[in-house]
Structure 1
Amino acid sequence: MNVRVEELSSIKKKLFVEVDADVVAAELDSAYKKIAKTANIKGFRKGKVPKSILQQQFGFKAQYDATGPLINNSLYKAMIDNNIEAVSQPEVVNTGTVEEGQSFTYEAEVEVRPEIVAKDYTGLELEKEKFVFDEGSVDYQLQHIAESRAQLEVTSRKLAREGDTVIIDFVGYVDGTAFENGSAEDYQLELGSSSFIPGFEDQVAGMKREQEKEISVAFPENYGAKDLAGKDAVFKVTLKEIKEKVTPKIDDDLAKEMEAETLEELKEKIKENTITQETRRVNDQLQENMMTALIEKNEFEVPEGMIQNQLHYLKDSFSQRLKAQGMTLEMLGMNDEAFANNYRPMAEMQVKGELLLDAIAKQEELDVEDSEVEERIKSFADESNTPLEQVQKYFENPQAMNGLKGQLLSEKVSKFIIDQAVVTEVEPKQPETEEAGEEAGNTEEKES
């Protein structure tokens, strides 16, 4: 086999492969033998048809059947022999003809990791948010805990309002015709949750119990069901019940539900957790700032295959999180194309970051020690209350171990870069204050 490699770009190579004639002959012979087992030719028993007859009647099929194995059996050997590591499926762009007694040629394009020499990764100027603990956050989280344990109770109020959970029947129509999956009975909907089509919940608010109403909305242009995307719809809605949340008192009883003896102990736990989480958030933001600065100083091409692989990973992760909440991408009005458009910049940044950290690790001769791996595995066991032997068993899987070592190496390289950076602490960004007048919108109207 002869192979010639042409570099098309920093991320793509073309292989010109010539498979020897004797290999072609053997593959053709194998193809004819398979055809002979099933060929039904008058005057011959199956499996006993002479090759010359098969060549006359099935020559084209044999050539076709032999082409795939000839490429598959030679392409990956050609890449290995030439130290080419593909990051996506190779693409065969041109093939010759499979002929008895002749060599077979084809061309394939392969995406490869770019060979990067990272630069300007020391002395980066970075900003880090100054963390100052806000005592008021404890009260806020206590209120959130209480609200999360609120019970729904039927209210005597006549009108539904934002925050209520209503029980409704509805039927949806487009152009006067009820559409598929557009109706439900005894549907429970929290007003203000934005879980329905935009504009729907706003129009249910203000309805009375047992009231029937026609609600007009428009499906988003990027709605998951393409036959409904961008179309106007009318929903006939009947409001059957109004429920409101009744929040428990914030006291020692609530603390006991949270596995604390007293309210003061619960407050202290909340404070400790908040400090841990906020410290992690600040450090994560610093890490993100570092990666952004590093990428800006190092321009290079990224293989499309690596971006697509990362997009698939992001989509799978996001879909799993939604599934845990009983939701899907389609329920958010997002299809595969919309997800790819929204998250492609993130995927590209993550791939660039990974490639740069790998390059810096090689340039600085950074590596992960066995003791560091053992320490992290023990940490996993402690944090998850899982027997150490069970966690160790999991990481006997080569893929899991490689993933762990990759994560540890990325952390080590990131620390190396940040330790040599010029880090300036900055005040945290203040959230925009709401207009005082907006509170008026929450004032409950008197009802007769």
Structure 2
Amino acid sequence: MQVTETLNEGLKRGYTITVPAADLDAKVNEKLTEAQPEIEMKGFRKGKVPMALLKRQFGQRLLGEAMQEAIDGATTKHFEESGDRPAMQPKIEMANQDWKEGDDVHVTLSYEALPDVPEVDFSGVKIERLTVEPAEADIQEALESLASNAKTFKTKKGKAAKGDQVVIDFLGKVDGEAFDGGAAEDFPLELGSGSFIPGFEDQLIGLKAGEEKDVEVTFPGEYQAEHLAGKAAVFECKVKEVKKPAEATIDDELAKQFGAESLDALKEQISGRLVQEYQGAARQVVKRQLLDQLDDLVSFDLPPSLVEAEAAQIAHQLWHEENPDVQGHDHPEIEPTEEHKKLATRRVRLGLLLAELGQKEGVEVTDAEMTQAIMNQARQYPGQEREFFQFIQQNAQAQQQLRAPLFEDKVIDVVLEKADVTDKPITKEELQAEVEKLEEI
């Protein structure tokens, strides 16, 4: 087998691989000899089928296997010996399209090699790590927001109005017969909430405590209970209490509505949540500072195919953000702009740099970290968590999409340890301004 270089320009590589016909024939014979003892054929005892007959029967298929194995082996050996790492899937093609059995096999191998990433001197990297402590006013603002969302009601006299809550007993009937799930006692219903069948709540407006009314409605045609869909029903209702909305008080009772034992405990929870939010936002600002400086520190050739693929992905993603109603790929061809290509160049350069740094520092994403990431993502699909886990387990690309940001963040942490980092206390408003700057870039 012979490998001949045909192209070496920048990161582009080209080779011709020649596999002699004699080597292929020897490989076929080796496979037949290995399989012969187990082969049975009519007219022959097991293991006694003549080699010539075996070759006529299985030779073509084994020749194809031998050819593929030879090419794969030569390609693997080439990358091991050259040290090249292809940027994308290498292109392998038959050079002699009119090949026939007995001819040598000539294939072409072409690819773009990943570049050598230069060493980086981090001594000049200076980072301001932003720190924000929740102010009492921030905690109070969050409490007031919780109070405004915590609806409470207090008993009132007079007629029920839209927005009031009525406590009712009801019994639903279809064709005069009660149906399963159509009855309840002391049921709290906010009028105007739309939580009941259309038209139900409106018919209770104007009733007082102690009054009764037959509410007549028709179940929607697409109702979840198919045996009730589209049918007329009568609900015998008795109003037991009418309540009006009451403004929530910021006290221990409010805290208990949100699972805290006391108001002080709720304040601690809010403070902890705000700290996490501020740290997350500050982390993005610090990360941008670091990446901007790294981008200025290093310069090396980039594989054009990687830049082109990244630019196309950026253009495609931004187009869909601007056209959210369009699903899938049923849209005009999207041409990357110079701005897309500029951003792609930065991303590819930094991606290769961080990958190289991570490899040198032995950075790895643990199984526990991956499991936690999958669990966090699965929460976005309530009721379908098991299906999501199975999808991730069976999809290598989806696993890589989850692993990549985890790996990047761990490399960022390694680099920050080497950089000159100083803490800079700022206010919440100043942090928000910094985050808004990131969104404008």
What's the TM-score once normalised by structure 1's chain length?
0.47
Structure possessing the higher radius of gyration over alpha carbons:
2
> TM-score by structure 2 length?
0.48
